[in-house]
Chains A and B, each alone.
Chain A
Amino acid sequence: MAYDKSIRPPFAGLWKGMWATLKALFRRPPTVFYPEEKEIPVPRARGVISLDTEACTVCMLCARECPDWCIYIEGHKEEVPPSKPGGRPRTRAKLDRFDIDFALCMYCGICVEVCPFDALFWSPEYEYSEYSIADLLHPVERLTEWLDTVPEPPALESS
């Protein structure tokens, strides 16, 4: 690497710096003014977890695989009357409670990955800050609300 280590007389660097500042004055800034302008997150961005209660079978896989145990699930079995007369009554798992504590969550995405029934999805939404840390515990109602914001997966690079 041929780098000149000699120190030239001063001020050349100073003027160069000033010249750079002057040029930057007329450049378009790369920043955005946040509340007015918003950057659109990429579709794969891990913003918030949404829940599809219809698909959830209360199998507890997500709660068990979560590295910091921030998912709280409670459920019970209930009997569904037979669909056809003479049929067998079936038992179905019913979700009583599904809370994700986003104050504890570390956004690793393991719960979404292990869900075998497609009940959990990532949404790139990020505006859910709260004044109280307890409000970051999202109950079922809030988790299902996020479902509308789940984007389509991006197209892939042809290989």
Chain B
Amino acid sequence: MITELGHLALILAFSLSIVQLIVPMVGIKFKWSNLIRLSGPLASFQFLFTLVSFGALMNAFITSDFSVKLVVKNSHSLKPMLYKISGTWGNHEGSMLLWVLILTFFGFLVASFGNNLRSEFKARVLSVQSAIGGCFYAFILFTSNPFERYSIAPLNGEDLNPLLQDPGLAFHPPFLYMGYVGLSMSFSFAIAALIEGRVDAIWARWVRPWTLLAWTFLTIGIAMGSWWAYYELGWGGWWFWDPVENASFMPWLVSGALLHSAIVLEKREILKSWTILLAILAFSFSLVGTFIVRSGIITSVHAFATDPTRGVFILIILFFATGGGLTLFAFRFGNFFSKNTFSLVSRESALILNNLLLVVSAFVVFIGTLWPLFADLFLDKKLSVGAPFFDIAFTPFFIVIAIVLPVGASLAWKRGNLGRTVIALWPALILGISLGSIVWVMQTGGRMLAPVGVSLATWLICGAIGDLWSRVRGNTLIIKIRRLLRLHRSDFGKFLAHSGLGITIFGIAAITAWEVEDIRIVDAGDNFDVGSYNFLFKGVTNGSEKNYLVTRGEFLVKNNDKIIGTMLPEKRFYPIARMWTTEASIDQGITRDLYLVIGEEQDGGGWSVRTYVKPFANWIWAGALLMAMGGLLSISDRRLRFSVGTPRRSKVLTND
């Protein structure tokens, strides 16, 4: 019954999205304010119905209702409750429902808090948002209905992949979706602005928080996915340039560009058309990502060919969103000239360079990801594009970004003074170069990666500090610190995000250049050294847990005769899914992770064991976390509040 209600609510939400697409637009056309005013309640009710629908599906998962096909395929009564709940979105149909839930939630937010938007503009934005929503409702209802029932319910479910039974992965899709869908908001604003034919600073002030939000959530989502791969896949890889990863990485890059160009537009009223183009592009990349993940076309062209409905549907949405958006853009292009000028040495120029580099690097990832498909479809050539390609083709752009970033970030708007910037940054520059050189000298042979990474990271972090410091004036240290604390939150957000990037770059360089790996067979009681660490293998124990069997190895770890702790790597067998997994044991530290995996019992006795010392591994995700915190801090800046301006107007009224 509840399941049917959920289905009904979804159909109602779909109908409302069509009403919202048409009625307020008609109202604007004929200036019927009643129809325009409908758009707010319509958005709210769409959200409400979608929430009911999602709740109904979650209820089916929580109560293990095995008459629902989706629950049978993706759940099991023995599964821990957390994974029953996360099972709601841990599959195609449910994840699409989550997608529209977030979409309508954002629509609801605009409807409720968009008081400083002109009512026609707000109605237009919500109509465009509804058009996207309507497409996805149709997609769910016609190709991926989550509420499908079995006439005869099986006794139990078919489990979720045990690899996916993990908190990191359970909450990774919602974050990514918040990111993807946040970009739909920027897109809707861009299209609404194109329809009206004008863009102003308030527009940018609205687009910026949505883009920041999307970018922040994408950052968290990507970091979570990478962290999951690191500890779950059994050898500590953290980025694979897999099409599915690239699918989230491309929107991250473009939204990074968009949030910077929105700043330029807001502060200086230039880059109008470019910002609109980026907003269209960013959401298009989200759709491309969805298409890649949901159609399975990249991993297997055959999987796509056997069931093309879903892929083709998303492709059509992509075609309309991107094609329609770009066509509209071409028509309105001329409307967006601005009168403001700037000199070649200025923050504007630096941000344009930043935008170019980010967008080009996104396109490199895009072309690399789709190249095998292109070669196969048009030239019948089978080839692969993997990590070694992306490492070479992508990295240089980010090195340039890292070099330019601190300079651009501390240049003044309009007309920069390179001399003053250099004065603020020279300590960072000298420190960066000297630290890099020390690493280069100390490193016996090997790659340039580590010294370059260390230099860039120092340059970014110290540059961010120098920028913040040069922003406060004062004669004494106390005055300076007091004034520092009074800086805007977005200044600190910028500081955190930029230094976070530096920390991530350092972590990546360190782990890539300095990782130590050891593979060997050990008997119980054996001792072995890896790096400066000593491992004593005490033996294995077997046991069983609620839904798996486990073989657990026990290792005592010492560093210079000081006991660090016991590490317990596991091998698990999940009988219902008939799957083996390895659970690496990781001893985390600020300067290094110890990463231990146990393998096979050997015929001649003993166990195979893999040990890694991964220097500064955590810095990769710590940096990402800092970037995300920077994003959140910027969103929370008072000046970016959605309802800014409204209270002030009411105050004027009371004064009268």
Q: Do A and B bind each other?
A: no
A residues with CB within 8 A of B: none
